[in-house]
Amino acid sequence: MKRWPYLVLIFWSCAVLLSHLIDLQPDHINLEKVLALPNTEAWLGNDDLGRSIVARLLAGAGVSMLVALLVTSITLTVGTLVGLIAGYFGGWVDRLLMQVTDVFLAFPGILLAIAFAAVLGPGLNNLLLALCMTSWVGYARLTRAQALSLRHRQHVLAAESLGAPVMRIMRRHMLPLLAAPLVVEATYSIAGLVIAEASLSFLGLGIQAPHASWGSMLKDGVRYLLVAPHYVLAVGFSLMSLVLAINVLGDQLRDAWDIKRAR
């Protein structure tokens, strides 16, 4: 039972890789099959332009996973660096960096992303930039809190007394001890970014037509909910399965690395 999140993630990863190897033509329009029900040729039916829902689901999954992984990699690096600097040096450096962080935390993340996306304009690059500008603060706060407790550990003080450079101390003596909570935070962040990408695309601020995105597919499918419910149900179930699997995986990693639970 505990393995099902891994199975779901492996399924979507393999499906996305397979979609790149096989030319599924997610943008091919066939007006003779508009809103067709699931059949042997199109397992999940066709959308409002006769395009295969399966092909567009796989293309949308690739976009969601690409956005989530890219944004997580960038924000994890930036947030960890900001938190380490603030926690290690303290003083005015800590106050300055945390005040900047508090400004971003004062606004709900998704609303701030919507504002940035609306100002920058729609498109994949602007979507990535908007999500990066709002997703690094969680890593910064978490890293800073952990770094403050590690700053006065004996192995860190010993490295300082031996004249080790600051970057070496952060990289070799502090960062490895921060890996576990950061990985768990990154797992939850990936799930949140999948939802954020779908939300921005649903509002028309993310991936633009004719490229497939789960958010834009939901936006198009809502108009035909009564006559073609399979369209929305397929996208909604796919989004739910991926996000739920990532969240459950994050819970399992948190429990596995929790010393009190392990005992």
Q: pLDDT per residue over 174-199, tens digit each?
A: 888 888 889 989 999 999 999 999 98
Please tell me the predicted confidence (pLDDT) of residue 12: 92
Residue 160 lies in a domain: yes
Q: Which pLDDT tens digit goes with each residue over 199-237?
A: 888 888 888 878 888 998 998 888 888 888 888 999 999
Q: Which residues pair with 52 in a beta bridge?
A: 46
Q: Which pLDDT tens digit goes with each residue over 45-81?
A: 888 888 889 999 999 998 999 999 999 999 999 999 9
Q: Which pLDDT tens digit goes with each residue over 9-35?
A: 999 999 888 888 887 788 888 888 888
Q: What is the DSSP secondary structure assignment for residue 229, as one 8-state letter?
A: H
Alpha carbon distances (Å) from 54 to 1, 17, 23: 27, 14, 12
Q: What is the CATH number of the domain that holds 189?
A: 1.10.3720.10
Whole-model pTM: value is 0.89
Residue 127 lies in a domain: yes
Q: What is the DSSP secondary structure assignment for residue 172, as one 8-state letter?
A: I
CA-nearest of 68, 71, 145, 70 to 101 is 145
Structure token pair of residue 121: 């304009």
Structure token pair of residue 92: 């005015």
Share of the chain above pLDDT 90, in %: 27
Residue 192 lies in a domain: yes
Range of the domain at 74: 43-262
- Looking at the predicted structure, is the pLDDT value of residue 263 above 60? no
Q: CA angle, 101 as apex, 103 and 164 as ends, to 5°? A: 160
What are the φ/ψ torsions at residue 83 (nearest 5 degrees)?
-65, -40
Instruction: Count structural domains, the chain.
Output: 1
Q: Which pLDDT tens digit goes with each residue over 158-170?
A: 888 888 888 888 8
Residue 242 lies in a domain: yes
